[in-house]
């Protein structure tokens, strides 16, 4: 068993999501939003965010991962599950759990932009800017965190802890 040290409480998270949704509602007034949830980590955040959005919303899901070169945005994107729907002409927001090196999102964004959405912004619950290797910024960021490995609220360590209602730093315990 690992030890999880609570870093961001459930109330802090839901308060922040309400703030982010209020900003999105303002920014997208009169438009329809197409949320692109990045599986699996973005799922908990995406649901709570979508519940608080008051302009018309549709939701689609994709699962992607990247294999980096270590420097720059020259890594490769693996699409494990692509979107079900076309995004051409739609106002899209990518909903992600965390931006770390930024490689996954910069590659995913490039792929999606080639499909000609009306607009494409990024909304992330967490940002870990210390480890960034590409220039990518989210328009909406919940919490900026230090360079620690965290789990909970959708984020996993070896597929565990996604169900924790809070976000905590993982202290790895050797067997």
Tell me the per-residue interface mask from 31 to 70 with Mg ion, x by CB under 5 A, - otherwise. Answer: ----------x-----------------------------
Which among ligand IMP, Mg ion, none contacts residue 100 (Cβ within 5 to 8 A by kind)?
ligand IMP
Residue with Cβ nearer ligand IMP (28 or 154): 154
Nearest in space to 37 (alpha carbons), one of 60, 54, 3, 70: 60
CB 172 within 8 A of CB 4: no
Q: Reduced to 3 states, what is the DSSP secondary structure of residue 16?
A: helix
Q: Check binding of 102 to Mg ion (CB under 5 A).
A: no
Q: Check binding of 66 to ligand IMP (CB under 6 A).
A: yes
Count of positions on this chain that bind Mg ion (CB under 5 A): 2
What does the binding site for ligand IMP look like in residue numbers (CB under 6 A)?
41, 66, 96-105, 128, 149-151, 155
């Amino acid at each position: 068993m690992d030890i999880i040290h609570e870093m961001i409480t459930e109330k802090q998270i839901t308060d922040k999501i309400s703030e982010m949704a209020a900003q999105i509602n303002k920014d997208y007034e009169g438009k329809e939003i197409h949320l692109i949830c990045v599986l699996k980590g973005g799922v908990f955040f995406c649901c709570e965010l979508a519940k608080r959005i008051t302009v018309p919303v549709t939701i689609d899901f994709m699962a992607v991962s990247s294999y980096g070169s270590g420097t720059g945005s020259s890594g490769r994107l693996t699409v494990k599950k692509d979107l079900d729907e076309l995004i051409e002409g739609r106002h899209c927001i990518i909903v992600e759990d965390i931006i770390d090196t930024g490689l996954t999102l910069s590659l995913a964004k490039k792929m999606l932009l080639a499909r000609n959405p009306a607009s494409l912004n990024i909304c992330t619950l967490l940002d870990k800017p210390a480890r960034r290797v590409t220039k990518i910024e989210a328009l909406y960021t919940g919490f900026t965190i230090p360079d620690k490995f965290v789990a909970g609220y959708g984020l996993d360590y070896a597929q565990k802890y996604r169900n924790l209602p809070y976000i905590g730093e993982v202290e790895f315990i050797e067997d």
